[in-house]
Amino acid sequence: MYEFFSTISNFLSQPLINIVLNTKDIPIIFAFILGLVGALAPCQFTGNMGAITLYGNKSFQMNVAWKEVVFFTLGKIAVFSSFGFLVWIFGSEVKTIMTVYFPWIRRIIGPMFILIGLFFLGFMKFSKTISLGGIIKGFQKEGSLGAFLMGVSFSLGFCPTMFVLFFITLMPMAISVNYGMIMPPIFAIGTSLPLIIAVFLIWYLELGGRLMKKGRRMGAIVQKVTGIIMLIIGVLDTITYWSF
């Protein structure tokens, strides 16, 4: 399964890799395009599909989910900026330590999608006293904290491709220039670009809230479809990252 996602990733990212090679003399653009390549990395691919499904669903049913997109991106910026700062201070020791924990952190995302899918499908109910339930309800309703935490969790889900892009490719250049500390946040924004584009298209085409206006029944159907998609993504993701 991982090889399948790797094949898709390589096919989609190859044109961007060529652009990256041509932008090494412009570090800021280099960091942004490298982040976009990261968005297509196997460990980020299913995560971005899940985020697009989740916030696309909310945009269709309610208002366009710009607030959630912003907080999702801020979560990514917080993580990558922290990693960049740690590498800046401690160097290669940080990379060695992180390789121990990244695989386990990445495995959390699949089960989390399964829980969200079951919640959307109505198979799971949570009281306000259960923190996990509060987070999942945050994904669906208020969304700011949930979106931030989702951005954080996706950013912690490194795979070999993402590790090479950030620690081996981006950070050496970031350390070599005076304004290198802004490169990890720009990289983070690049990894969020697929979600930003998807929500922008919903906003630009004025599709936000359209299904909710057509009635609760249509909105309920879309939510069920979203739950099914999230469940499928979660199962595929879990099989991929728990099988090795």
- Express each pLDDT in 17-39 by its tens digit: 777 777 778 889 999 999 988 88
Give 215's pLDDT tier (boundaries 50, 70, 90): low
| CA distance linking residue 165 with residue 31, whole number of Å | 10
> For residue 129, what pLDDT is reported?
40
Counting beta carbons within 10 angstroms of the beta carbon of residue 128, is it exposed (0 to 12), middle (13 to 18) or buried (19 or more)? exposed
> For residue 134, what pLDDT is reported?
47
Helices (H), the chain: 2-22, 27-39, 42-61, 66-90, 92-106, 109-120, 131-140, 144-156, 160-163, 171-176, 183-191, 193-204, 210-213, 216-242
Give 132's pLDDT tier (boundaries 50, 70, 90): very low
Report whether 240 contacts 5 (CB < 8 A). Answer: yes
pTM, two decimal places: 0.73
Tokens 């906003």 map to which residue?
A: 203
Structure tokens at 216: 């609760």
> For residue 11, what pLDDT is reported?
59
Confidence check: pLDDT of 218 > 70? no
**DSSP labels, 128-170:** TT-HHHHHHHHHHTT-HHHHHHHHHHHHH---HHHHIIIIIII
Give 57's pLDDT tier (boundaries 50, 70, 90): confident
pLDDT digits (tens, 9 = 90+) for 164-213: 888 888 988 888 888 889 999 999 999 999 899 988 888 877 776 666 55
